[in-house]
């Protein structure tokens, strides 16, 4: 090439094309510096910032693929949490042998089965090839949250269905003299419930572990808090579902509703504390989807405001007012129903925000570089 010949001739003769006489290597490596080698000269000794890394790496393209999860998985997370939490609360209430808790056990059994019924279909529809869903049951991988979750859902589904059938037989729904009803009432419902408590708790909280096992920065940064956070949310949603069902039913005592409200307040406080702790641990860059845009607004006003803050305030006011009016710590059905609806709506919104914020986090190169910085 002509420019190469002129450069070589100038380098050999010290002419204007090559500058001072010297070797070709000096002309190319000594007099030329790449832009990335001099970009940080003013702050030599310091590593590149997250902004620099995002500008000079991947050209703004996300380093990781965002998960395709949307409404099907969000709904599965929500219903699975209610199913596991309701079953656990119903079994614990039955183990206490307190007669007043019989309505909690009854409502929890039915709610658990009703919430669990659509979850297998939601998982099958979310698969890339739904016709191969049975392949997930061919092996059991202890280190795979997806495999463990599939088997947990299968085992829990059997125990949950059996407990609901026993409850239906005891309530006379299946008839008093039919063969299946007479067989079911002889089964030890407490032992069946005790066997189902462990998979119920696992189902309620493993969805958070499943998210934390991915490479999405917003999910995996606070991996130790995701499981307890989803478990607390599931228990608060389950308590609200049972309280709503009993508030709409006749014959439920005000004391029972008051106990459920107090229990729900404990779960809501735990959920709020874990959510704020996880938010603080994320840092400014990774937590950006929870602060900005439509998802950030839903997180502040929907989850923290309407889903946690307002129900807690409503429960506190209701308990104080009814304690002075009823003298026994009771609560009104209307207040219980309203607070329960807010908790249930906030629980679904919480899962929507976490999933959608995680998708935005996966699309943000700065979040990925912040997560891996120093590792």
Alpha carbons 297 and 243: distance in angstroms, whole number: 29
Look at residue 29 and tell me whether its pLDDT is greater than 50.
no
Where exactly are the structural domains of the chain?
71-368
| Options 2.40.10.340, 1.20.1630.10, 1.10.3470.10, 2.60.40.10; CATH of 71-368 | 1.20.1630.10
Residue 293 has pLDDT above 70, yes or no: yes
What are 201-246's pLDDT values in tens digits?
A: 999 999 999 999 888 999 999 899 999 999 999 999 999 999 999 9
pTM for this structure? 0.81
Mean pLDDT of 281-309: 93
- Segment 166-175 shows an average pLDDT of 89
Per-residue pLDDT band for 117 (boundaries 50, 70, 90) equals: very high
Contact 265, 339 (CB under 8 A): no
Q: Which of 25, 90, 57 is nearest to 372 (CA)?
A: 57
Nearest to 281 by CA among 232, 236, 228, 356: 228
Residue 257: which of 269, 271, 239 has the closest Cα? 239
């Amino acid at each position: 090439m002509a420019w190469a010949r002129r450069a070589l001739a100038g380098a050999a003769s010290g002419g204007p094309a090559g500058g001072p006489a010297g070797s070709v290597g000096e002309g190319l490596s000594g007099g030329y510096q790449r832009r990335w080698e001099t970009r940080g000269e003013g702050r030599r000794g310091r590593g590149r910032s997250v902004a620099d890394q995002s500008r000079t790496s991947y050209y703004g393209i996300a380093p990781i693929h965002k998960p395709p999860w949307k409404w099907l998985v969000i709904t599965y997370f929500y219903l699975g949490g209610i199913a596991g939490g309701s079953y656990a609360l119903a079994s614990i209430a039955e183990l206490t042998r307190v007669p007043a808790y019989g309505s909690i056990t009854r409502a929890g059994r039915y709610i658990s089965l009703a919430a669990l019924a659509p979850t297998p279909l939601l998982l099958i529809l979310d698969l890339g090839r739904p016709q191969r869903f049975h392949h997930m049951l061919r092996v059991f991988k202890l280190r795979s949250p997806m495999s463990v979750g599939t088997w947990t859902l299968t085992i829990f589904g059997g125990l949950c269905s059996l407990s609901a059938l026993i409850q239906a037989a005891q309530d006379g729904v299946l008839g008093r003299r039919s063969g299946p009803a007479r067989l079911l009432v002889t089964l030890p419902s407490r032992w069946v419930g005790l066997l189902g408590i462990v998979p119920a708790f696992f189902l309620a909280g493993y969805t958070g572990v499943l998210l934390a096992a991915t490479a999405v920065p917003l999910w995996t940064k606070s991996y130790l808090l995701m499981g307890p956070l989803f478990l607390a949310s599931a228990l608060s949603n389950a308590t609200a579902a049972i309280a709503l069902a009993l508030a709409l039913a006749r014959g439920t005592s005000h004391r029972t509703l008051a106990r459920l409200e107090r229990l729900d307040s404990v779960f809501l406080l735990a959920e709020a504390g874990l959510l704020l702790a996880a938010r603080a641990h994320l840092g400014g860059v990774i937590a950006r989807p929870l602060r900005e845009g439509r998802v950030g607004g839903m997180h502040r006003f929907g989850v923290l405001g309407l889903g946690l803050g307002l129900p807690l305030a409503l429960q506190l006011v209701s308990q104080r007012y009814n304690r002075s009016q009823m003298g026994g710590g009771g609560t009104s059905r209307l207040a219980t129903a309203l607070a329960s609806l807010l908790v249930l709506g906030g629980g679904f919104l919480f899962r929507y925000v976490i999933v959608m914020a995680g998708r935005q986090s996966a699309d943000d190169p700065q979040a990925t570089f912040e997560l891996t910085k120093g590792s």
